[in-house]
Structure 1
Amino acid sequence: MDDGILDEAYRRLHRTGPEFEGWLSNHGPMAVEALVRHGHDRGVHRWLDDYLRRLDELPRGLRPIDDWREALGDPKRAGDWLAHFDRELRERPWREVLGNWWPRLLPGIAAGATHGVIRVGHAVRVLREDGPGPDRLTELGQALGYWAARWQPVPGVAAPFPGGEGDGAPARPDVTAALAGLPRIADRTGGIVARLGRLRDVPEWEGAVAALRPARTPADAERGLVTLVHRAALDYLRFGHANAVMLVHAVTAPTAVLRTLPALDPALWAPSLAAAWSATAAVTAVYAPPTGVPMPAVAPGTPAEVFARAARHGDAHVVKLADAVLDAHAATGDERVLAAAGYAGQLMSTTRP
């Protein structure tokens, strides 16, 4: 991985805001991290030259964050949140800041159509695997600030941190069965905020989102997240045609959580699975059709070939999905998941990032 090119890309991007054109997420930091990670650093600045034209300036702060609970989920305070985390990460070790804020932010995992947690997951991977640096710490701060500003719970989730099953409690389904049992909203119009709001009107929703078997140990939580990413990637092959872009997040959100686990206290791993499950379940329920299609025909390839095709395609969602399914393939050995990236490329015919 060319650390210099990634740091240069971060510096270019950190002059821009976390959103643009109203409420679209800035995918630049996530996409360039994936491109550099997989050896496509030579094309990063050319990719950025095009992408940066679309972005807005970094938002200015209004006043310091005094009562974080009151400011959580207030997009008007985005500049304040960015400044807050920039200061925290200058004063304290990044793992300490992450460990303090992760349980506060986790219940709002739907933030920015799950892009808050996804951006954090990319930033944490760099810090964990390649070491800290000023630009990388700034990226984590901007990722956490974005999540805080757009903090949004998944409707119908009774408790963010469900515990284990008590004696005599009925057995709950595993990840695969819980995904298969998800209901769907009837009105499938509008954006994700409107769609999430309709979940409360689905009688089966609260039971379905609470149905997943809780993790009893950190190892259970890790295995559950691996399975969740794996099954969500396979579901993309069945349901992706319904909304090629938004259903990517059913895969990339739990991937981000899984990548963050090693930087967290193991006591947070089980609640992290619960939150990731709620995000994938919600995206599936509001965007996936009730019935899937047969597995599409996608050109086979090695992981390196699959990512190279995604990089040539250029769409940020295709790149990020390819990055996620390479992780799923490495964890499970299931070559079927690699086809999800190629299928996304087919569905998103544009090469504009």
Structure 2
Amino acid sequence: MVTVLKSIYPDPSAGERLPSLIADVGRHSGEFPVLLANHLPMVLEAMGRLGASPARLEEYAEHYTRIHAVPFPPSPVTLIDETNWESALGKREHEGDLRRFFAGVVAEIGGHETIRRYLPRLFPGIAASATHGLMRLAYAVLRNDDAEIAVALGYWAATYLPYDAIPAENHRDVSDPLAPILQMHADARLRDVDAPTYLLWKWIEAMGKLPAFQGYLGRLAPTPDLLDRMRPASLTLFAATMSFEALHAVTGCHWLRLVSPHLDEPQRLAMHFWEVVMALYPKIGMPALPSPEVLDRWRAVPVPPDDVIAAAAVASNDEHDHSLVFSAFEEFRYTGDPLYKVVAARRVGLVEFGD
């Protein structure tokens, strides 16, 4: 069942069209060739909430599915049940099997209880499909969409990617998420790391095998305020770089906020997510972070009205524009930090600012 709240869509007819449209595109796999995340079910919802018309939603769905040749999940491989589902973790060929397993669980106990019961086992593998398993789950929760919750959990499980090589001597005694970032900035061993492929999740995987980086794993503590600390750190990193990688840190904090109420220990999920952000920091060159004074100057940059920013995002065919602008607007509503609107406007080419 999907709860449709028409008031949240600037075009109410978009709210009427989205359930069937997302159900249709949601039948496709969580990834498309070659091993790239399928954003479509999520960004259609974001576009609708940013003001897209039903015609624009349908046009974009057709465009995205066609140009990316988004496939359907693989054919059944084996029966997955309560006794063996964990043996399929990280095995993409079992995406269809895992979807069916979680669909059965959701039908029995409901989507939110399924998240509470099963997601903790998936916490360490949050790097799944470069954190897009988390994205799909967050949007499923946002929509109160049990069918998408099952799909998201199956997708996350099939692409599960943990950090296993954490030194035994490391202790989770660091409470500030920026502390390891600052330490990494000064670590020459992490400069000029070679990228294994263009795939974000392959970079994340490769970083976990790098001894110099392993020393930073397993040190961040799951404090109750961890997500609140991560949020401004992510925004600072993105504002400083406007990079593809840091964009995912900002949107990821929004996704974590959506999922957290359905977990007993959401700070543990946030802890694992931040280790992924740390892994991506060398990929963007480990830049120095801006001072508070510079950040305040950026906050004061005039931006167009929300509807102008939203319209620019809706008109774009780049799924990261829809994702970033929607998450930035939502995080602004939660925090009141005007820098979210500045980076949203900058992402879609409406403002510029320097140092």
Fold-level match, TM-score > 0.5? yes
State whether residues 6 and 33 of structure 1, in contact with CA within 8 Å, keep that contact through their aligned partners in structure 2. Answer: yes
Where in structure 2 are the equivalents of 1:167-246 lying within 5 Å? Answer: 172-183=174-185, 184=190, 186-189=192-195, 190=197, 191-200=199-208, 202=210, 204-215=212-223, 220-221=224-225, 224-240=226-242, 244-246=243-245
Root mean square deviation of aligned Cα: 2.8
SS at match of 2:348: helix
State whether residues 120 and 144 of structure 1, in contact with CA within 8 Å, keep that contact through their aligned partners in structure 2. Answer: yes
* Other-structure match for 2:353: none
CA distance in 2, matches of 1:330, 1:231: 17
Structure 1 residue corresponding to 2:319, chosen from 316, 319, 322:
316
Residue 284 (str. 1) matches residue 281 (str. 2)? yes
Name which of structure 1's ranges 300-309 and 7-16 shifts more when overlaid on structure 2.
300-309
Residue 81 (str. 1) matches residue 98 (str. 2)? yes
* Other-structure match for 1:120: 137
CA distance in 2, matches of 1:262, 1:14: 24
Q: Deviations over 1:199-232 (max 9, x none)?
A: 25655533434443541xxxx33xx313313321
The TM-score with structure 1 as length reference comes to 0.80
CA distance in 2, matches of 1:292, 1:13: 41
Residue type of the alignment partner of 2:271: A
SS at match of 2:216: helix
- CA 1:204 to 1:303, structure 2 compared with 1: closer, same or farther past 3 Å? farther
Residue 272 (str. 1) matches residue 272 (str. 2)? no
CA shift, 1:140, in A, is 1.3
CA distance in 2, matches of 1:325, 1:292: 23
Q: Deviations over 1:83-114 (max 9, x none)?
A: 11122222221111111111011110000011
* Other-structure match for 1:247: 246
Q: Which runs of 5+ in 1 are unaligned?
A: 128-135, 166-171, 348-353
Residue type of the alignment partner of 2:159: R
CA shift, 1:30, in A, is 0.9
Where in structure 2 are the equivalents of 1:59-138 lying within 5 Å? Answer: 59-66=74-81, 67-127=84-144, 136-138=145-147
CA distance in 2, matches of 1:260, 1:210: 22
CA shift, 1:319, in A, is 0.8
* Other-structure match for 1:133: none
SS at match of 1:314: coil
Residue 143 (str. 1) matches residue 152 (str. 2)? yes
Residue type of the alignment partner of 1:281: M
State whether residues 25 and 41 of structure 2, in contact with CA within 8 Å, keep that contact through their aligned partners in structure 1. Answer: yes
Q: Deviations over 1:69-94 (max 9, x none)?
A: 21111111111111111222222211
* Other-structure match for 1:36: 48
State whether residues 133 and 153 of structure 2, in contact with CA within 8 Å, keep that contact through their aligned partners in structure 1. Answer: yes
CA distance in 1, matches of 2:21, 2:114: 24
* Other-structure match for 2:3: none
Q: Deviations over 1:314-338 (max 9, x none)?
A: 3111111112212222232221122
The TM-score with structure 2 as length reference comes to 0.80
Residue type of the alignment partner of 2:101: H
- CA 1:197 to 1:346, structure 2 compared with 1: closer, same or farther past 3 Å? same
Percent identity of the aligned residues? 25
- CA 1:12 to 1:194, structure 2 compared with 1: closer, same or farther past 3 Å? closer
State whether residues 110 and 153 of structure 1, in contact with CA within 8 Å, keep that contact through their aligned partners in structure 2. Answer: yes
CA shift, 1:23, in A, is 0.5
SS at match of 2:90: coil
Q: Deviations over 1:165-190 (max 9, x none)?
A: 5xxxxxx3523334333354532422
Q: Which runs of 4+ in 1 moved over 6 A?
A: 293-299
Q: Which runs of 5+ in 2 are unaligned?
A: 1-7, 351-355
- CA 1:158 to 1:253, structure 2 compared with 1: closer, same or farther past 3 Å? farther
